[in-house]
Chains A and B, each alone.
Chain A
Amino acid sequence: MRVLNKIVDWIDQRIGAREILKKELTGYLLPRNINAWYSLGSILLFAFALQVLSGILLLIYYVPDADKAFKSVSYIMNEVPYGWLIRMCHAVGSNMMVLALLLHMLSVLFMGSYKRPRELNWLTGFILFSMIQGISLTGYLLPWSQLSFWATTVATNSANAIPVVGPYLVEFLRGGVLVGPPTLGRFFALHVAVIPAGIAALIGAHLFLLKRTGVSTPPFGKKNTESQLQSDVYHHEDHPGGIPFFPDFALEDLRGIAIYMACFLAVLFFDPYLFFPKDAFIPANAFVTPAHIKPEWYFLANYQTLKIFPNELIGLSLQGAAMTFLALLPFVDRGRERHPLKRPLFMACSVGGLLLWIGLSIWGHFS
């Protein structure tokens, strides 16, 4: 213990570590009525770290070559010590992370935390959500299974609906006319380098914005529900008399992460193939089209929307409009009221939209 203290003293003398720790941990005060939903950010950080770690371990044995990719994944699953655990962690983790991300966004939405002055937090979060979808989609191709191959064929084919440039775009995405080895190379680079770097940068920006703006006060409980920002001048929303981040909210985060991990492990050990259709374990074959290619559960609503409309461009445009509206929501919804029950129009639209999304997903699953 004395040695540890000496090390801390040595560092403290040089960079003022104790001061930083005090400011960022015990001196970092949060609203007294903060709730468990605020832990979803920490859970997501933890889930992303788990994805990075399991992804790096998979990289040791995975071979991004169309002739070897499927065999290398099979080797990881069957021969590498605990390889099955690492692979399943990565695959199940991606789905669980999307679920946690959706819950995080919903909590921000219903508590009105996206409102002024947190428009940029919402926007960076929304871009992060899109990038998580992108990294999931590119990762889907890497095992080079029937599911990977045909899901990517269908997904990249969507670009064909864009007038004039569509066919060129499809060829650009695939690196050829059809999905093949060049597509695997491109998607691999996107999945392990480009998108993770983008996600890391955006997480940094998201956290920076959180620190600069301050944690929002939940619109429930004793506190008033209005934003603290009263003028056009920069103002950090701090919470004098609030609870310290450490140990109080750190324990709340730890509880959230442990519950997330319990759910994650339950899927991993007791229903690991929940997110795997049977085509996921058959090697890619360009000459055999599986009867029904379905996307991951979080894309099922998009999939069903495209099926409803006879014209792909209309379906894509509608989804694009909906996503654009959501991305720019803080700039549209400028009211200062944040309590969901005091925003009946917002509640009706949000609950309606959520039910529509769930309904389309279920329809897509069974269609």
Chain B
Amino acid sequence: MAKLLNLSAFMLVTLIFMFQPQPGYSQEQPEIVCIQCHSGMPEKYSQPVKLWRGSIHAENGIACNACHGGDPKDAANAMSRERGFLGVPKDPDIPAFCGRCHVGVMKDYLASAHGRALGKGGPTCVTCHGNHQVLKASLELINEKSCSRCHSYDRARSIRDAMQETETMIVATEARIIDFKKVGSDTEKLEKELFALRNHFHSLFHNVNVETVKKESSQIQTELKKIQSVLATWDQTNQKRKIAGAIAISVMLLIALFAHLLRKTFE
């Protein structure tokens, strides 16, 4: 009997511990051949890899072949034209090169004073956003150091000032949405709305007309306030829940006290 008990308990325990969690895995993914080869090359060829690692593209998993084409799994044919390798675009081709993915942005850029100066000494995408260490579109890109390379900063400053408030609102709204998302709130609709508004806002980045920027910014702010009012409603709901919780806890404590006193009475 004792042996049977021992055996049963051991089998049970073994079964339980098959379910016990183990240390997490590291998140290592095999690198594509472009990075493997270029990392070990002289600086001229390895620097793009270093720069790319700090880019918004790297952050979102967009690797070399997404822009330059080629076969990232076959080292021998990685840069083969037959495998779709495009290499480095010439300056006037850069907007079309980037515009394969950023279709709307290319349209905005081409319609702007910057775009209209394409091929005539005007800036391309990489002039402001960088190549390889591609920066996320933000107001930080409009700065005296960058803009003064080609023209005075005065008008750019007016545009940036007009957009700053909206940018701040977008960042704050996004942070609040993330906070709600972290606790299981269904933020999908709000996220989509904010995404559309942010895209609309970013389309202004290529617009150099101060009045248009001010007008559009104001419209975006109105829409942002609608999102913020939804978030405020959620806040109120949470507050109401806390009040209801406090009442429920008080009732439970009163029941406990009542039971305790009644028990003492019976004693």
Q: Which A245-265 residues have C-beta < 8 A from chain B?
A: 247-248, 251-252, 254-255, 258-259, 261-262, 265
**Interface segment, A10-18, A55-63, A129-137?**
A129-137
Partner of B245, one of A157, A270, A290: A270
Chain A residues with a Cβ closer than 8 Å to the other chain, count? 66
For residue B51, CB closer than 8 A to chain A, the reply is no
**CA of A58 to CA of B159, assembled, Å:** 52
Query: Nearest 9 pairs between A and B by C-beta?
Result: A269-B245, A258-B256, A295-B21, A78-B186, A255-B259, A262-B252, A251-B263, A258-B255, A293-B24
Per-residue A-contact encoding for B237-267, CB less than 8 Å = 1, 0 else = 0000110111011001101100110110011
- Chain A residues lying within 8 Å of B253, measured Cβ to Cβ, are 258-259, 262
Hey, which bits of chain A sit against chain B, CB under 8 A?
A: 74-75, 77-79, 84, 123, 127, 130, 133-134, 137, 150-151, 154-159, 162, 169, 173, 247-248, 251-252, 254-255, 258-259, 261-262, 265-266, 268-270, 272-273, 276, 278, 280-281, 288-295, 299, 302-303, 306-307, 312, 316, 319-320, 323-324, 327-328, 331
Is the C-beta of B23 less than 8 angstroms from some C-beta in chain A? yes
Q: Are B12 and A312 in contact (CB under 8 A)?
A: no
| A contact residues around B27 at 8 Å (CB) | 288-291
Q: Known: A247-B266, A258-B252. Is A158-B9 also a contact (CB below 8 A)?
A: no
Q: Give the residues in chain A near B12, CB-CB below 8 Å.
A: 127, 130, 327
Query: Are B18 and A162 within 8 A (Cβ)?
Result: yes
Which chain B residues lie closer than 8 Å to A137 at the CB level? 19
Chain B residues whose CB sits within 8 angstroms of the CB of A162 once the complex forms: 14, 18
**8 Å CB contacts to A: which residues of B102-151?**
none
B24 surroundings in chain A (CB, below 8 A): 150, 154, 289-294
B side interface size, CB within 8 A: 43
From A84, A258, A290, name the one whose CB has the most chain B CB atoms within 10 angstroms: A258
Secondary structure at the A interface, as helix, strand, loop or mixed, is helix
Interface window among B69-77, B165-173, B176-184: B176-184
Distance from A91 Cβ to chain B, minimum over Cβ atoms (Å): 10
Q: In the complex the two chains form, what is the Cα distance from A281 to B178 in whole Å?
A: 11
- Shortest CB distance A67–B (Å): 16
Closest to B241 in A: A269
Nearest Cβ distance between residue A323 and chain B, in whole angstroms? Answer: 4
Quick one: given A150-B24, A247-B266, are A319 and B184 in contact (CB under 8 Å)? Answer: no
A327 x B9 contact (CB < 8 A): yes
- Shortest B223–chain A CB gap in Å is 22
